[in-house]
Each structure stands twice: as C-alpha cells, then as structure tokens.
Amino acid sequence: MKKLAACLTLSLAALVPFGQESHAATTFTDVGTTHRAQAEIYYLVDGGIVGGVSSTRFVPEQQVTRDQAAAMIGRTLNLNGEQRATKFKDVGSNNFASGYIQQLVDKGIISGYLDGSFKPKNTLSRGEMALIISRAFEYNSSSVSSAASSLMKKGIAAGIADGTFGESQTLKRGDFSVFLARSINADFRTANNEKFDRNYYVNTNDGTALNMRKGPGTSYTSIGSIPTGKIVSAAYSVGDWVYISSDNVKGFVHSAYLQLDKPSDDEVVTPPAKPTPDPTPLPTPPGKKPLKDVVVVIDAGHGGKDSGSVGNGFLEKNITLNIAKKMEAYYKNVPIQAKMTRTTDTFIELEDRAAYAKKVNGSIFMSIHNNSFSNESANGTETYYYTRSAATNPNAAQSKALARYTQNRMLEAWGLTDRGVKPGPWLVIKYNTVPAVLAEVGFISNKKDMGLMGTEAGRQKLAKGLFLATLDYYYYYEGRTDVLPLYSTVNGTPSGKLH
Ligand SMILES: [Zn+2]
C-alpha cells in the first residue's frame, strides 16, 4: 500500500547527531538567567533539539534560517537526521540538515519553492513558522492564517503590535526556540488549554516501570516512573511521543507503551442481549450446510511484537483485537460459529492466519486492520479483496462481494470517507482458501477517524456492522434465506443486494 502502509513497523527513535551545532555546553554566555527565552532555549538544548553556534554562544538574536528550523523540527519529531541527497537542487547531502529537510518534505510538513529550490539559508518568516509548526504538531491548518490562529489560540504565539500576526516578519533563533518549546510542552504556553481526555493503560511488556520524561525523546531527563498497568491520561502527541498526566505530573512517554486494553487482556466482552423468544429458525436451503456448521474466521491484525501502526497514542494491534472480540460476541446469539486467529496479544505469522481458515473449516475470513499515514490528510474506510490469480485464493468473485457488503456496513456504522472496495495483495487474503477480505476500518493517524476508532462505543458499532456484513453476504451472495431471522438479534435488516 506504499505510503499508506497498513503495517507500519515501529522503530524506537535513535539519538540523532547534531551537525553544525555544538551541544557540549549547557550554559551560553549570551543566554543568561534574565534572558527572555532562557527557559525555552535550555529546554530544547536538553533534548538535543538545538545547540549553540559554538560551545559558549547560542546567538539568540541571529535570524533563524530555513535549514536550522528544519533540523529543530526534525529532531523534535525524532526523525532520522542522517545527511542525504534531497530533491532540492540547493540542498546537497553536505547540508547538515539535509536528512531532516527531505524527511519533512516527505511528510508534507515543509516545502520548497516552485523553481525546485529550498533556499536553506533564507531566513524563516513568522508565517512559514506557523505553517510548519501546525503541520508538525497536526493542528490541521491549511493556510497561514488558520495556522497563525491555531498558534494564538493555543497560547504558542501572539500577534505583533499592529494587531496582525506579522507573517512576513523574520524570526530570531531565540523567538523560534520559544515557539517550538511551547508547541512541544504546553507548560511553556501563555495559556494551557490542553485537555487530558484520553485514557490508556501503561504496558512495558516486561513488568518494569515506564520513564516519564521532560520532553519527547530519550535525551530528556526522566521526571518520574509509572508502574506497568497504571491508567494515565493523554492530551496530544509529538511524533511518536505522547504528552500525558499521571498523578498530576505532566510529561512525555513513548506511545509504544500505551494501550487501550488492560495489559492482562482479560477484559470481558459481553454479547448483546439475546431477544426472547429466540428467532424462529428457517429451514436450511437445499445443498447448504446447516448454519451451525458455518464458521466465520475473524482475524485481528498484528499482535505481540508486531504493534502494527501507531498513532494518537494508540497501537493498531490493540484496536484490532478489541474490534474482533466485540464482533465475535455477536455470533454467541446465532447458530453461525465465529473463530478467532488470535484472542490475546500474541504474534502470528500472516501465512498461519490464512492457513487457520482452512484448518477450522472456515466459510469466510475477515481481517481487521487500521490504516496510517504520515499526516492528518488521509482518512476513511476501505476494504480489500484478492483477485489476481486463481493459483492462490480462487475465491475472487466471492471475496469481492464480501468486500462490498463489509465496506457498506462500515460506512453505515461510522460514516467516514469512502475510500472504496479495492483489489489488494495482502498475504492473509492472497494465501487464503476461502472468500477473504481485509478491512482497513479507519486511520489511526487521523483525529476524526480516531474519534470513533478510539472509543468503546465506536468500536462496538463497527463490530456490529461487520457482523451484519457477514449475514448480508450469506443472504444475498449465497442465497441463504435461513440467515434472515438472525438479523433480529441486533434489530437489523438486510442491506439490499450490492454485488
Ligand atoms: Zn495493519
């Protein structure tokens, strides 16, 4: 899926080299205790985000250049700063910030000029600063004016004396440091309006406590430790790090150690109330197995050492398992069986997931995933089926039909952007022996999608939709009239013919 990788591998950020600037001194002769940006500059120096121009001087009054700004933003997001060739004719691999510039361009955070240049030594304007910060911190601003207004609302930057934002004015190193430090850590802001409104369990996987740090990176000092299993509240993310509050202490932890489910994974998912009396069974249509022998295979994507994609403080493997368990529960009220490729936080090879469907005599296979992208722009729901060659999964037509019914019920449940039903090469559907689909239910990297995917109520609604999609497939594609009474277990009705 190219950049829209469903299965983004998580790599814990390594320490980045500093290039051009010196990090050796933590006291600059030109940033004394009374300097207006003293706290913010030393905060960034602590995290290795900025250094002095020499071991003793920071030169806060010097204009910040575009390459310096890119390096600071790149280090803030823990990007790999290794110098490299870039797409710009005026940024060679000898530029200390070349690695950050190229990565920020790839992520849509920074851009060059129409003539193919980046102008690395040009000074950064306040307008450019607002846009870059709003993209790097995912404030969803598409114009300079909306970016400026986000920064003002959040207490990160104020307007200038003439009442405007002064978007064409240039910025000094000291001022840029203040804006960046405030963006990273809300404690520096003139107003801290951030809400710690999402709860997560801490899970370090090995029982040790989790370090909470002063900033988003392992260079920052630890300011406390949180026992595994504890619930913490999160406000926002900076790259893969999350700004959290625990026992009234605020700081940063890596998102890989936060999850939605209890680490023990012993949560009980209660099936929906069964209607009384039971729906009257209808006769099995000629030539079909009785419903009690029909097996839906549910595959919760990723698991164990494979977290899947990470975003907004969530791990894909936990979301997929949670949805899968909720879906499974709906089959407890009907004769059709559901079997899960995994019911706990365990790693299973993709080929083994596909083979499982055959092993348990499955009739259809549904794999549940979340999508991810490097910024907020991508969102929505899509469903994949495998179609390429009969030598692998021979059930192309059946899979496509199942994909249509799946996509339809997901859109009905969540109403997110319809990215469509598409052929895809994913191994779990390719090497399957039964009609198989892979549902990318939403984007873990998108705040709107996470408004549904990140909540129990949202996941419940989706799970019910996936259950209904399987009934729709049996009813319309396989002509199984005997599934009709099963809709009443969730007060549902058939979707209409879609294939
Ligand atoms: Zn995935």
Q: What is the DSSP string of 205-241?
A: SSSPPEEEESSSSTTSPEEEEE-TT-EEEEEEEETTE
- Between helices 456-472 and 316-330, what is the axis angle to 10°? 50
For residue 445, report the distance from its CA to the centre of ligand 1, in Å.
12
Report how far residue 383's alpha carbon sits from residue 400's, in angstroms, rounded to the nearest whole number. 9
For residue 438, report the distance from its CA to the centre of ligand 1, in Å.
9
Q: Given this model, what pLDDT does residue 269 score?
A: 63
For residue 152, report the distance from its CA to the centre of ligand 1, in Å.
37
For residue 499, report the distance from its CA to the centre of ligand 1, in Å.
26
For residue 23, report the distance from its CA to the centre of ligand 1, in Å.
39
Measured CA to CA in angstroms, residue 203 lies from 229, 240, 263, 460 at distances of 6, 16, 6, 23
- Contact between 308 and 453 under an 8 Å Cβ cutoff? The reply is no
Helix (H) or strand (E) holding 430: helix 427-430
Report how far residue 106's alpha carbon sits from residue 110's, in angstroms, rounded to the nearest whole number. 8
Residue 353 main-chain phi, psi, to 5 deg = -65, -45
For residue 308, report the distance from its CA to the centre of ligand 1, in Å.
5
Domains and CATH numbers, the chain: 2-188 (no CATH), 198-259 (2.30.30.40), 291-490 (3.40.630.40)
- Residue 67, both tokens: 């390459």
Q: Given this model, what pLDDT does residue 20 score?
A: 41
For residue 108, report the distance from its CA to the centre of ligand 1, in Å.
22
For residue 104, report the distance from its CA to the centre of ligand 1, in Å.
24
Q: Given this model, what pLDDT does residue 265 score?
A: 42
Which residue type, as a one-letter code, is found at position 356?
Answer: Y
Residue 473 main-chain phi, psi, to 5 deg = -60, -50
For residue 67, report the distance from its CA to the centre of ligand 1, in Å.
35
For residue 309, report the distance from its CA to the centre of ligand 1, in Å.
6
Q: Given this model, what pLDDT does residue 277 score?
A: 73
Report how far residue 362's alpha carbon sits from residue 383's, in angstroms, rounded to the nearest whole number. 20
**How many H helices and E strands in the chain?**
12, 15
Q: Given this model, what pLDDT does residue 207 score?
A: 75
For residue 302, report the distance from its CA to the centre of ligand 1, in Å.
6
The set of residues, in sequence order, having a beta carbon less than 8 Å from that of 157 and lying 6+ positions away, is 126, 129, 130, 148, 151, 165, 179, 182
Report how far residue 306's alpha carbon sits from residue 86's, in angstroms, rounded to the nearest whole number. 31
Q: Given this model, what pLDDT does residue 17 score?
A: 32
- Contact between 1 and 424 under an 8 Å Cβ cutoff? The reply is yes
Tell me: the pLDDT tens digits for 478-493?
A: 999 999 999 999 999 9
For residue 9, report the distance from its CA to the centre of ligand 1, in Å.
10
- Where on the phi/psi map is residue 373: left (φ > 0), alpha (ψ -120 to 50), or beta? beta
Q: Given this model, what pLDDT does residue 201 score?
A: 87
For residue 439, report the distance from its CA to the centre of ligand 1, in Å.
9
For residue 195, report the distance from its CA to the centre of ligand 1, in Å.
29
For residue 43, report the distance from its CA to the centre of ligand 1, in Å.
36
For residue 440, report the distance from its CA to the centre of ligand 1, in Å.
8
For residue 413, report the distance from its CA to the centre of ligand 1, in Å.
20
Report how far residue 444's alpha carbon sits from residue 462's, in angstroms, rounded to the nearest whole number. 15
Instruction: List average pLDDT for each run of 10 residues in the chain, which is 499 residues long.
Output: 33 33 65 93 95 91 96 96 95 96 94 95 96 94 93 93 91 95 96 88 83 95 90 93 94 90 54 74 92 98 90 86 94 96 93 96 97 90 87 88 98 97 93 96 93 87 97 97 94 95
Which residue type, as a one-letter code, is found at position 52?
Answer: G
Q: Given this model, what pLDDT does residue 376 score?
A: 85
For residue 7, report the distance from its CA to the centre of ligand 1, in Å.
4
For residue 256, report the distance from its CA to the centre of ligand 1, in Å.
15
Q: Given this model, what pLDDT does residue 153 score?
A: 94
